Chain A
Amino acid sequence: MVKCSSMKKNNPNSAPAADHADMPIIADHISKSYNKGAVNALRDVSFEVKKGELFGLIGPDGAGKTTLFRILTTLLQADKGQARVSGYDVVKDYKQIRSSVGYMPGKFSLYQDLTVEENLTFFATLFGTSVAAHYELIKDIYDQIKPFSDRRAGKLSGGMKQKLALCCALVHRPTVLFLDEPTTGVDVVSRREFWEMLQQLKRQGITILVSTPYMEEAVRCDRIALIQNGQLLNIGTPSQITDTFPVKLYAVKAASIYTLLKDLRSWTQAESCYAFGDLLHVTLGPHTGDDLALIREYATAKGHDQVTVQRIAPSIEDSFIRLTTTNSLQYGSADQS
């Protein structure tokens, strides 16, 4: 079922699954450009999200995440390709989509001069329902902001705003929930809480598409798609993505990290080397012998103290870095040329 756009390129007629009920979100070869083609925000993006799945769209700022969200929520029309949400076409059946999905834009988009309660009631009315009608869905989240229900939304803290926005997006019990960078600019604790709330919503049978620039949040999703420059690089479960990391990855540490980074980058045996926290992540080119010993010997020969080398399992971020730099990867380093 999982197909990367690059794999499907030569076969545009391979239609997505006909059974829309199982696939609340289907994007089929979506392209979108701005400024008359000068900026390609999305290039031939195809993916599907299964019912009840928590699907993450992971990519840096400017990768095209928001554009994709706006197309799927009927706010923007794609130049090419089709998309279906809850079985409805995003262009033809936009009306049905608008009453059946919840959308939380990346920018806080509620009325700052209305109170928490007024915002919630207002959006419930716009969806032709009431706060009480689906209260059980938002209860756990709303309870946390209830003490501030008379406060104006603009005066809430970042995490509170997030919760209110989520409540407003859920007030009509949508079948599909779109969350555009919900954790950007939110503190670590609130972020963890937020992901726990999403897990709860998932249990209630709501399909969730969430985007984030934070790679470490990817593991909380059932499946993820890595996006860069408007193209999907890879789709799969977080473990699938890290498992397909093609080479062995080593974490290297020494007393002077910066000079070690420079030394490793100028080493012909190293395929890639980048800083990762307070460690260096290194991959090697083809060679004979023990990798660990090789790296340690090289580092010691360059005069480094306290050298530790360890084989580690690649993270999503490692996969992402590898996917985005594949084209430039070659033996030796670019610094030499």
Chain B
Amino acid sequence: MRTLRFLLQKEFRQMFRDKTILVMMFLLPVIQLGILPLAMDLDVKNINVAIVDQDHSAYTQKLITKLGASGYFKIVTVAPAYKQALFSLENGKADIVLEIPPSFERHLIKEGNQSLNVTADAINGTKSGIGTAYLLAVIRDFNQDIRLMSNRQPVAPAIIDIASSAWFNPHQKFTWYIVPGVLVLLLTLVGGFLSSLNIVREKEIGTIEQINVTPIKKWQFILGKLIPFWVVGMIVLTIGLLVARLFYGIIPLGSILLLYLLAAVYLMALLGFGLLVSTISNNQLQSMFIAFFFIMIFVLMSGLFTAVDSMPVWARTIATFLPITHFMKAVRMIILKGSTFSDVLPILVFELLFAIGLNALAIRNYRKTQ
């Protein structure tokens, strides 16, 4: 026990003397959580629309006003012909072109129907898809209005009005969805990267040579490496939760204790992964690349940005076997939904298995003799 205590003392001393790592450890959660969720907002706003109005009637005026009033669209140009409007799409000024044909109003009144042309720049798939959908919704709404206005039909057609209510995120704020995700990302970075650099650093400086000739036990050495990063991970989580509360007003609905318990186990699994990487690599560059390779996959497949459920089957299978996927889910459940212990128990067991497995592998792989 005395040996372990001194090992820990040494690790913490080294950590506190490495100013860069120290600053990064505490700046990382603040900056990442403070900035990324705002930047990563998937809500589509500011869709630039170029309008080709060939009718210039009261109806077109109404449609354009409605478009501008929706808050999602910015009318950048009103072009006299489709060709000019298309040009503004090509040079990136506009995202969508709405073409209103001549005699738009007359056809609508006389014949009761009229087609419009919507052209979208699909380089940014999300923006064009969602933008077009919004635009169509506005036009549909406009359609309802004019039917009522025209009074041609004495009885308004039956309309199914759908009112939706969003549970667990009533205002459908994107930050609510992404902040818990970024929190998980942070823990993954701290746990995965920092720990993967640690043993290999001793290898690179040569200190491991001196350590290996001492009678120190393997488990003491590994524990001495694990515990400091585990503590750092918990501190990062605490800072992260504070930032989420102060910046975004996100207060976990569920038990904070449960969140910490889950994070503790998840961190253990991740530290095991980092140590494993550390034992198989010979220098810091190698271990950085190996860790980067895996963590990139972990993060992109975890459901941080995209829903795991909408992935192809093979990807979903991979995602199911990643500890981060389940942890991400559990963190969102606890923070947003207020899930209880019994809800996340299967996930907790899963993470625990990972923690045991990865650490066992790391300990087995770390050899004092070559």
Using CB atoms and an 8 Å cutoff, list the residues of chain A in contact with chain B: 70, 73-77, 94-95, 98-99, 101, 103, 105, 107-114, 118, 121-123, 125-128, 152, 168
Contacts and interface: CB of A to CB of B under 8 A. Distances in A.
A74 B213 CA distance: 7
Given A74-B369, A98-B214, A118-B13, A125 B209 contact: no
Main secondary structure on B side of the interface with A: helix
Nearest to A99: B215
* Of listed B2, B207, B210, residue having the most chain A CB within 10 A: B210
Contact of A128 (B17, B208, B212, B215): B215
A112 B14 CA distance: 9
A12 B209 CA distance: 32
A122 B216 CA distance: 12
A109 B14 contact: no
Contacts of B14: 111, 113-114
A114 B12 CA distance: 11
Nearest to B212: A75
B211 to A, nearest CB: 7
Contact of A76 (B6, B13, B370): B370
A109 B210 contact: yes
A155 to B, nearest CB: 12
Interface of B: 2-3, 6, 10, 13-14, 17-18, 205-216, 368-370
Contacts of A125: 2-3, 6
Contacts of B207: 109-111
Contacts of B369: 74-77, 94
Contacts of B370: 70, 75-77
Interface centre among B17, B207, B211, B370 (most CB of A within 10 A): B207
Given A76-B369, A98-B215, A107 B209 contact: yes
Contacts of A122: 6, 10
B206 A126 contact: no
8 contacts: A74-B368, A75-B368, A76-B369, A109-B206, A109-B208, A110-B207, A114-B10, A114-B13
A73 B370 CA distance: 12
A112 B370 CA distance: 25
B3 A75 contact: no
A113 B16 CA distance: 10
Nearest to A94: B369
Contact of B206 (A70, A77, A99, A108): A108
Given A76-B369, A105-B206, A128-B3, A111 B10 contact: yes
